[in-house]
């Protein structure tokens, strides 16, 4: 479409083209891949393009990684941006927060804590390392080790929740002998299933 518009602006009467027949799914894939090739694509736009490919083309992160030529860790980090509040996403788009800052913030559970920390970063121009240390000091992010026992009482459930939350990078709750795992989108669910190695 961009080539067509450019040719029209240039006053060309004919445009060299190869006509091919594609299915709706193939057309969508081409459109999404072409969108990723745009110059000055913001991190959030890139993340949304990846999410669209996963959801509409029903891809796993491994399949997406091969299609776009990006590592799984890159895709995980990019998709993690979409779990951040819109205000924080805008700060990333405006280059007031780096990807390193965004990665650290995406591990937090509480929206208010994320916003508070994001404002502190921008106001004080905190480097990523300082942010990571700050999160640890304030116990926003807990890294715990548990001793496996046959019988876990309620007091120990919190340790298991924290362990799973860190492993899955999402909300986890244990209640009434059930484990509830939160996800924000089909793409996020696929990511979690891959981590716990659940295959169709």
Domains of the chain in sequence order: 14-83 (1.10.10.2830), 84-141 (no CATH), 143-200 (no CATH)
The pLDDT tens digits of the residues spanning 102-156 come to 988 988 878 888 999 999 999 999 999 888 888 776 654 444 444 444 445 555 6
- Going by pLDDT thresholds of 50, 70 and 90, the confidence category of residue 96 is very high
- Specify which of 35-44, 68-77, 122-131 reaches the highest per-range mean pLDDT: 122-131
**Range with the lowest mean pLDDT among 48-52, 80-84, 156-160?**
156-160
Active site residues: 1
Once rounded to an integer, what is the mean pLDDT over residues 53-64?
82
Higher pLDDT pick, 9 / 24: 9
Predicted TM-score of the model (pTM): 0.56
DSSP states of the chain: -HHHHHHHHTT-S----------HHHHHHHHHHHHHT-TT--HHHHHHHHHHHHHHHT--HHHHHHHHT--HHHHHHHHHGGGS-HHHHHHHHTTSS-HHHHHHHTT---HHHHHHHHHHHHHHT--HHHHHHHHHHTTSS--------SS--HHHHHHHHHHHHHHHTS-EEEETTEEEE--SSHHHHHHHHHHTT---
């Amino acid at each position: 479409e961009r080539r067509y518009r450019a040719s029209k602006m240039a006053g060309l009467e004919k445009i060299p083209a190869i006509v091919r027949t594609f299915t709706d799914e193939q057309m969508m894939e081409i459109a999404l891949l072409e969108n990723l090739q745009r110059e000055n694509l913001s991190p959030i736009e890139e993340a949304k393009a990846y999410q669209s490919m996963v959801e509409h083309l029903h891809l796993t992160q491994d399949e997406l990684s091969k299609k776009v030529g990006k590592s799984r860790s890159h895709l995980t980090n990019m998709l993690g941006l979409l779990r951040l509040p819109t205000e924080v996403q805008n700060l990333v788009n405006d280059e007031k927060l780096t990807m390193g800052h965004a990665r650290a913030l995406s591990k937090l559970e509480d929206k208010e804590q994320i916003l508070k920390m994001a404002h502190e970063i921008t106001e004080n121009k905190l480097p990523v390392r300082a942010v990571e240390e700050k999160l640890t000091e304030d116990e926003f992010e807990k890294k715990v080790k548990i001793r496996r026992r046959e019988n876990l009482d309620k007091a120990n459930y919190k340790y298991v929740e924290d362990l799973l939350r860190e492993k899955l990078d999402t909300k986890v709750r244990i209640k009434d002998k059930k484990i509830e795992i939160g996800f924000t989108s089909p793409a996020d669910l696929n990511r979690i299933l891959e981590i716990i190695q659940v295959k169709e």
